[in-house]
Amino acid sequence: MKLSAFLIFVLLSITYCFGQNSSKIDSLFDLSKECGDYEKYYSIQNELGNYYVEIGLYSKGLEIYFMLLKKAELQKDSASIALLYNNIATVYRETGKNDLVLKYASKAVDLSKYVPDFSHRADIHNTLANYYYENYIDSLAIVHFNISHDYRLKAGVKKDIAVSYKNLAGVNYEMGNKKLAIQYVHTSLTIRKEIDDRQGLISSYLCLGEIYYFEQILDSSLYYFNKCIFLVDSTTSPFIIKKIYDGISLVYSELGDFKNAYKYLKQLIEINDSIFNIENNRQITEFNEIYNTEKKERYLLYKSYELKQQKDKNLINIIIFSSVGVLLILLFIIIFLKIRHKQKSLLEKEKIIQDKLRFKAAIESEEKERIRIAKELHDGLGQLLSTAKLNLSGLDGSIDKEDEKLLTNSITILDDAVNEVRTISHNLMPTALINYDLIRAIDSLCEKINNSAQINIEFNHSVFNHSLNKETEITLYRIIQEIVNNMIKHSGTNKIDISLGSDNNSINLTIQDFGKGFDTDIIKEDKGIGWQNIFSRVSMLNGNIDIISKKEKGTKITVTFNF
């Protein structure tokens, strides 16, 4: 009984798909047969290829793109060749063939100068930019995102310009240009408000929510995630809704509001079920489209053969309908077995989820902390590169024998920087704190800076005798890193003193330079990421920070917190 009901459902689905999509394929086939000139033929076939890709029949789309590529090469039509390369790269990106994406996207960029339309040029560079971005080659990704953005501006399509600003925001954030990234997202928001792009607004608010979450500015993160929820409607992609629920549940968990965190976690599970159903229906549609296409091709072959061999018409009809019948039965069996298998997998998955819900809060806390530490890449790399710059500045025009040690030290520091990036990426923890405790990690940091022979750092920890948990050690280490980095960059000092002490239940950190000093009132108006990071981390420790600075007498920063 269940199998019969299922077969009726599939038959109704196929009938609907025939009515919706078969007419479009028919018209495109008929038009392409009637076209005699190259341009019309190219246009129609390219539209057909795009349609196949849109409905998920990637092999059919690629077949048409490669066929058109041969014809375009014979015509020496460089513009069309560039666009076809880009279409092919896009399909390979959707199907996960990474090496082929780079091959064809690069070819498209090489020929993009022959493409007259600025929007198409922007699309070509955007495809290559996305490849580099998804493969963590940000230095090349930002080059092509910027080129694509310039072409978007020339084309003047506001919706595309808004998307371009959001792309630039993503790659700039990954590269550590956080202030610029946030600025780009707000520019994208302004445009999308102007053109009333509701789904675009959701995308931009989601981006801001994620950025502020990673920066641990949780109130702002929650504000933008709630804006997303307010705008969500029936046209919003379930994949976007999934990201919103995932983000807001993490924020509530971080804030300690586990009731709301669990609420959105439940909604996340429900949207995952919805996405599964969508994917399931999409696969059914793909089977139907394959059936439609094969039916059309068989029909065309039949018509051609009918003209030559009218007397075999009845035999051909029997063969065609028998083949279609067998194919349809096979499709029914495959779809039914696949759905039943997925339903069984879902039940097992739901059981596992229920078993693990009680551990969710603890697991989320640990993983969120690791994500946050990974985003500290900018801080660690910035400190090491600043030290390397000080070493290299010690060279006076040329490298003499007495300078070889200095040069070797500089290269070693740069190697340390590369190793630290790799270590943080793979282990999500600062290298110094993996190998040593907090005191030895700070000693190692001071030693690297002192080796530059440009600044001398003295570290006093004689009255520090407490063991801290790893999370507190990392936070304290990053505070010291950021403050020292600021002093090296801005104070003009040649000496820095660091003192770390403790009493019964509190930690005291003092960092002092002897440089030019600054007006501390400007900190209130400073929107830079550096001071924001310092204040955020001190707040995480429930501590206090005191900054005293006098012109030409240096700066003294004191951090205290209880443990």
**DSSP assignments along 242-297, one per residue:** HHHHHHHHHHHHHHT-HHHHHHHHHHHHHHHHHHHHHHHHHHHHHHHHHHHHHHHH
| Beta strands per DSSP E along 408-530 | 456-460, 495-502, 506-513
Domain annotation covers residue 405: yes
What is the torsional sign of CA 228, 233, 237, 241? positive
Domain annotation covers residue 345: no
pLDDT of res. 120: 92
pLDDT of res. 414: 67
Q: How many structural domains is the chain composed of?
A: 1
Q: List 554's β-bridge partners, or say none.
A: 550
Domain annotation covers residue 134: no
> Helix, strand, or coil here: 500?
strand
Pairing state of beta strands 456-460 and 495-502?
parallel
pLDDT of res. 430: 56
pLDDT of res. 13: 40
Domain annotation covers residue 330: no
CB 224 within 8 A of CB 212: yes
Domain with residue 380: its CATH number is 3.30.565.10
Domain annotation covers residue 225: no
pLDDT in tens, 474-501: 788 888 888 998 888 888 888 999 999 9
Domain annotation covers residue 262: no
CA gap 47, 42 in Å, rounded: 8
CB 159 within 8 A of CB 171: no
User: What is the number of helices (H) and of strands (E) in the chain?
Assistant: 23, 5
pLDDT of res. 67: 92
Q: Please tell me the total number of residues recorded for the chain in this structure.
A: 563
Residue ranges, the chain, pLDDT below 50? 1-35, 278-288, 290-291, 295, 298, 300-301, 352, 355-364, 366-368, 371, 378, 426-427
Q: Taking the model in full, what pTM does it have?
A: 0.45
pLDDT of res. 322: 80
CA gap 371, 71 in Å, rounded: 50
**Domain range for 461:** 376-562
Domain annotation covers residue 389: yes
> Helix, strand, or coil here: 77?
coil
Domain annotation covers residue 40: no
